[in-house]
Amino acid sequence: GATIGIVGGGQLGRMLALAAARFGYRIAVLDPAADCPASQVANEMVVGPYGDEAAMRRLAGLSDVVTYEFENVAVEPIRKALGDTPLSPPAEALEVSQDRVVEKAFLNGIGVATAEWRAIDAAEELAHALLDLGGDCILKTRRFGYDGKGQARISAQTTFSDAFEAIGSAPAILEKRVPFAFELSVIAARGRDGSVAAYDPAENVHTLGILKTSTVPGRIPPEIADAAKAVAGQILTRLAYVGVIGVEFFVGNDGTLLVNEIAPRVHNSGHWTEAGCLVSQFEQHVRAIAGLPLGPTARHFDCVMENLVGDEVRRFDALVAEPATMVHLYGKAETRSGRKMGHVTRVAPLSKPL
């Protein structure tokens, strides 16, 4: 059978591997840790640094198609290492999503609205940019931020050295803080044939920068859901994308949609799809990159997905005894505070029929 190569063996890689196994694909995983979560499911492990060209060449040698579970894969090494082995989603999606300045410029360039922003290449530029944007802003590292790390809220009162100390260093991006009513995300997919499918958007709540819950349908009116799905489709098409994408939005009190960021991969806020839909985001990604038809995205339950972070994994015994709950643990040996250990999805009958 064909082999799917996955760069990254965390929980997302593991869940992709589980879905791919149900279609009889073999799985090769590249990760620095031989005992990473996906290693328990993979047929082959390539142990090495993510950005290492030699390791990626070994992965490519084992694989018919290569994908990734995180957006910080070094673009030039993977391009060189892969040669003729197809990469899905394409390298352009990595380039756009791994740098917040490139990402916002791309989005604005295709007519998609974001928070107002300024690139900050040196600390001296901060004062002017802050004045320009009118105070109350968030300074973020351009690259490598996740779970709210590498961010500092700043106002006219903040000393700039404090702000830069908090996030590390330039290059950075300064974003106007958006007074959103709530946040939502769209999980969407594009197939090799160019077809596009989107799941219902989820309302997301973050605690200390980490996603806590995703609720579908949440507080999302149908017209906002449709508008958000349309934006996701536009992004997919403009990137000639193949695979699943996560698009995070801010929703204003007046219903205005601003894109926060895009993730060129399966997304934590889409984990509810494994309980709520016939075809989960993981199977959908496998279908797309394997050149199969996209699966149905219709939702059959109302869902609340909750992340089990750190010690919360101890709730497993109680959760697994609930009657309408799907529990998913990631097989991480060590529980650490702030670490995503698993998630749970509670389902209820559809509040609105299909």
What is the binding site for ligand ATP (CB under 6 A)?
115, 138, 145-149, 175, 177-178, 183, 206, 209, 248, 260-261
Binding-site partner at residue 144 among Mg ion, ligand ATP, none, CB < 5 to 8 Å by type? none
- Is 73 annotated among the ligand-binding residues? no
- Is 183 annotated among the ligand-binding residues? yes
Nearer to ligand ATP, 212 or 328 (CB): 212
Binding-site partner at residue 274 among Mg ion, ligand ATP, none, CB < 5 to 8 Å by type? none
- Is 150 annotated among the ligand-binding residues? yes
Nearer to Mg ion, 138 or 326 (CB): 138
- Is 118 annotated among the ligand-binding residues? no
- List of residues contacting Mg ion (CB under 5 A): 248, 261
Binding-site partner at residue 113 among ligand ATP, Mg ion, none, CB < 5 to 8 Å by type? none
Q: Bin 6: left if φ > 0, else alpha if -120 < ψ < 50, else beta.
A: beta
Asked if residues 211 and 204 have their Cβ atoms less than 8 Å apart, the reply is: yes
Cβ neighbour number for residue 223 with a 10 Å cutoff: 9
- Is 69 annotated among the ligand-binding residues? no
Rounded to the nearest whole angstrom, what is the least distance from the CB of residue 331 to ligand ATP in the complex? 21
Q: State how far the Cα of 152 lies from the Cα of 79, in Å rounded to an integer.
A: 33
Nearer to ligand ATP, 1 or 209 (CB): 209
- Is 153 annotated among the ligand-binding residues? no
- Is 149 annotated among the ligand-binding residues? yes
Residues listed for the chain: 354
Q: State how far the Cα of 294 lies from the Cα of 296, in Å rounded to an integer.
A: 7
Rounded to the nearest whole angstrom, what is the least distance from the CB of residue 89 to Mg ion in the complex? 15
Rounded to the nearest whole angstrom, what is the least distance from the CB of residue 145 to ligand ATP in the complex? 4
Asked if residues 180 and 237 have their Cβ atoms less than 8 Å apart, the reply is: no
* DSSP 8-state secondary structure symbol assigned to residue 200: P
Q: State how far the Cα of 129 lies from the Cα of 118, in Å rounded to an integer.
A: 6
Strand order in the sheet with 44-47: 44-47, 26-31, 3-7, 65-68
Nearer to ligand ATP, 261 or 302 (CB): 261
Hunting for tokens 């959908």 — which residue is that?
284
* DSSP 8-state secondary structure symbol assigned to residue 186: E
Binding-site partner at residue 329 among ligand ATP, Mg ion, none, CB < 5 to 8 Å by type? none
Rounded to the nearest whole angstrom, what is the least distance from the CB of residue 258 to ligand ATP in the complex? 8
Which structure tokens are listed for 224? 């906002």
Nearer to ligand ATP, 65 or 262 (CB): 262
- Is 147 annotated among the ligand-binding residues? yes
The residue number whose beta carbon is nearest to ligand ATP equals 178
Q: State how far the Cα of 118 lies from the Cα of 128, in Å rounded to an integer.
A: 10
Q: State how far the Cα of 304 lies from the Cα of 334, in Å rounded to an integer.
A: 26
Nearer to ligand ATP, 52 or 147 (CB): 147
Q: State how far the Cα of 273 lies from the Cα of 321, in Å rounded to an integer.
A: 21
Specify binding-site residues for ATP: 100, 140, 145-151, 175-178, 183, 206, 260-261
The annotated binding site is made up of 100, 140, 145-151, 175-178, 183, 206, 260-261
